[in-house]
């Protein structure tokens, strides 16, 4: 009996220590409070420390993952922080519903993600949405995406070039669907423009869609240059392509489709931009290639039977005709992108240039676009005015003729 008691005491003590350890593991302790670890409080440990850049102009650091606590301090924009672990915290608030049953409660859930960081020789916690998702050292800008809801944007912030100035130079918000890709190109053939940023966002549900934004970044900040949109489903599509002047290895400049530029920058792909044809440079429009951007558009129209019903093929895709619109040309003047118009307007411009010099004063083809529009509008107004004059003259002559006939008949009586 005594022997059994000697064995049972250490065993019970071990169980007691195990129970204390288990209880301790059920709580997460900080320097100022504690949280029960459950489905609403999740800690994700990191195998290695990550370096994150602060995205907010001022990122506050707290003693715990709770913004109701007094901050320990703050760090300025673009400060590098060493993150140790991620804390996901869901707080549940209850309130009494307005009903005949006073004890009926409803709950509201507030979720937040935090990063545990090294701070002033100790540790602290910062909100995850105060940190940048990506840092682009070559482009000197930060990216933060808000991917909670469809349509919420991706924001870029440019880093000021001023030494020791921890502030952003400029910011821009770009559209967001289900995902995004971003690449930069330093081989920018567009004259006096800066760094080229190619941003693509895409939708992964039907109908599939994607949009591309070209953004320039220079010492003055961001410039949202031009965008395209494409969508398609079941053989139907609408597709826009942007051709951008890119500087190649031999210092020549070629108009390259932006999708090819993005594809070629992926190391797994073997697309050689020096060998693809690109868009043939239209030298007759008088715009230097280093100032020219071209956008093309193609889309489908359903083929109908004699009853007006849409026809489909053996794969249940609509039978369609592909329509290619005339390309639209744009000129970059160093400050803004000017739409010159399609070939229709440029051909009208050529017809004006062919007129005698005493009838139309010629400056430079690229300066004639607005004059072409004015000339077309003038022609339309002239046609309308001439038709109106002819109509009024017809009424006048007709009335005069009827009046003369009436007077002759009256005199005969």
The answer to whether the beta carbons of residues 178 and 203 sit under 8 Å apart is yes
Q: How many residues does the chain have?
A: 413
Confidence (pLDDT) at 348? 58
CA distance readout (Å), 348 to 92, 281, 285, 374: 67, 20, 12, 11
Confidence (pLDDT) at 404? 45
C-beta neighbour count of 340 within 10 angstroms: 22
- From the list 156, 139, 293, the residue with the least C-alpha distance to 218 is 139
- DSSP H helices in 100-157: none
Confidence (pLDDT) at 380? 47
The answer to whether the beta carbons of residues 188 and 196 sit under 8 Å apart is yes
Write out residues in the chain with pLDDT < 70, as ranges. 1-25, 94-103, 146-152, 163-164, 267-270, 343-413
Give the CA angle between residues 82, 54, 145 to the nearest 5°.
110
Confidence (pLDDT) at 84? 94
Q: Is the peptide bond before 207 cis (omega within 30 degrees of 0)?
A: yes
The answer to whether the beta carbons of residues 304 and 310 sit under 8 Å apart is yes
Confidence (pLDDT) at 271? 73
Q: Which domains does the chain have, with CATH numbers?
A: 17-131 (2.30.30), 347-412 (no CATH)
Q: In whole angstroms, give the CA distance from residue 76 to residue 78.
A: 6
Confidence (pLDDT) at 76? 94
């Amino acid at each position: 009996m005594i022997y059994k008691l000697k064995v049972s005491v250490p065993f019970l003590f071990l169980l007691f220590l195990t129970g204390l350890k288990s209880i301790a593991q059920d709580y997460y302790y900080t320097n100022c409070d504690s949280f029960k670890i459950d489905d609403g409080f999740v800690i994700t440990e990191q195998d290695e420390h990550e370096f994150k850049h602060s995205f907010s102009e001022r990122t506050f650091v707290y003693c715990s993952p709770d913004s109701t606590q007094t901050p320990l301090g703050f760090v300025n924009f673009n400060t590098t922080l060493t993150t140790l672990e991620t804390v996901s915290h869901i707080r549940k608030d209850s309130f009494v519903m307005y009903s005949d049953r006073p004890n009926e409660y409803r709950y509201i859930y507030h979720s937040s993600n935090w990063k545990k960081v090294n701070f002033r020789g100790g540790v602290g916690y910062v909100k995850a949405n105060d940190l940048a998702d990506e840092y682009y050292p070559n482009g000197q800008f930060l990216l933060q995406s808000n991917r909670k809801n469809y349509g919420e944007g991706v924001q870029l912030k440019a880093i000021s070039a001023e030494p020791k100035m921890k502030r952003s130079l400029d910011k821009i918000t770009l559209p967001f669907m289900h995902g995004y890709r971003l690449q930069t190109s330093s081989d920018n053939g567009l004259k006096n423009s800066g760094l080229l940023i190619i941003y693509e966002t895409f939708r992964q549900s039907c109908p599939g869609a994607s949009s591309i934004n070209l953004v320039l970044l220079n010492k003055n900040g961001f410039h949202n240059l031009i965008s395209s949109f494409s969508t398609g489903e079941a053989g139907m599509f609408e597709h826009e392509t942007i051709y951008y002047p890119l500087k190649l290895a031999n210092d020549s400049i070629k108009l390259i489709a932006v999708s090819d530029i993005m594809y070629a920058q992926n190391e797994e792909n073997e697309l050689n931009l020096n060998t693809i044809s690109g868009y043939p440079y239209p030298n007759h429009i008088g715009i230097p290639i280093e100032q020219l951007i071209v956008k093309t558009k193609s889309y489908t129209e359903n083929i109908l039977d004699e009853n007006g019903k849409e026809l489909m093929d053996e794969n249940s895709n609509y039978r369609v005709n592909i329509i290619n619109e005339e390309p639209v040309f744009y000129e970059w003047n160093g400050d803004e992108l000017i739409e010159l118009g399609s070939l229709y307007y440029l051909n009208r411009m050529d017809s004006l240039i062919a007129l005698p010099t005493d009838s139309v004063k010629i400056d430079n083809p690229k300066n004639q676009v607005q004059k072409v529009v004015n000339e077309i509008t003038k022609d339309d107004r002239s046609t309308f005015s001439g038709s109106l004059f002819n109509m009024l003259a017809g009424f006048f002559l007709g009335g005069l003729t009827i009046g003369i006939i009436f007077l002759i008949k009256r005199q005969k009586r």
